[in-house]
Copies of this chain bind each other. A is one copy, B any other.
Amino acid sequence: MRKAPQQARSREMVERIVAAGRQVLVEHGYDAFSTNRVAAAAGVSPGSLYQYFPDKGAILDVVLDRYWAEVADQVAASLADRIGETGPGMVRATADALVGALEADPVALQVLAEELPLGRNRDRRADLERRVRDMVAIYLAARPDASQRPDPAVAAWVVVLALENLALRWVLDQPAAVTREALLDEVVALVGGYLTT
């Protein structure tokens, strides 16, 4: 951010710009995401926009940060709520939370995940993964099962990636052959089968 907004009206403007950025993205796609368009949608002049954002990418960054933070928060909250719970229940709840978070605004997901270069989401998805993985690793390391096969760190990596991508692709592709409940069942079976092998 080029300059910190000090007065209330400028803080509001920054908010309006970020909101407009997301709106343009969702309603008109990434191609329409030009600084002039975002400024217009925010009811602000291009010049004003550049008083607080160094460049176009900075606006996109804020939009993406907020989106993925929202998703990660929902999943982390669901996970934190069930610290003591049994394995399958936790897996199902986590998958449910993730799918729910992604379903909240499918159009936003479609634009952010499919029209944007994947690299733009990389760090933010990595954060989401790390947050979940850390909690999973703790759970795995603490399980009574002394065999510790597979290695907790590796297992957490596998489980989180599989879960994330299954949820993501299910929401994006809505495959007719797989209902929401079936997805959750299969994720539980997949993770459960893996960890008890």
Contact = CB atoms under 8 A, between A and B. Distances in A.
Interface residues of A: mostly helix, strand, loop or mixed? helix
A117 B119 contact: no
A175 interface: yes
A186 B155 contact: yes
Interface string A27-57: 0001000000000000000000000000000
How many copies of this chain? Answer: 2
A151 B175 CA distance: 14
Contacts of A166: 158, 161-162
A193 B158 CA distance: 13
Nearest to A175: B157
A88 B117 CA distance: 35
A118 interface: yes
A118 B119 CA distance: 10
Interface of A: 30, 113-119, 122, 150-151, 153-155, 157-158, 161-162, 165-166, 169, 175, 177-178, 182, 185-186, 189-190, 192-197
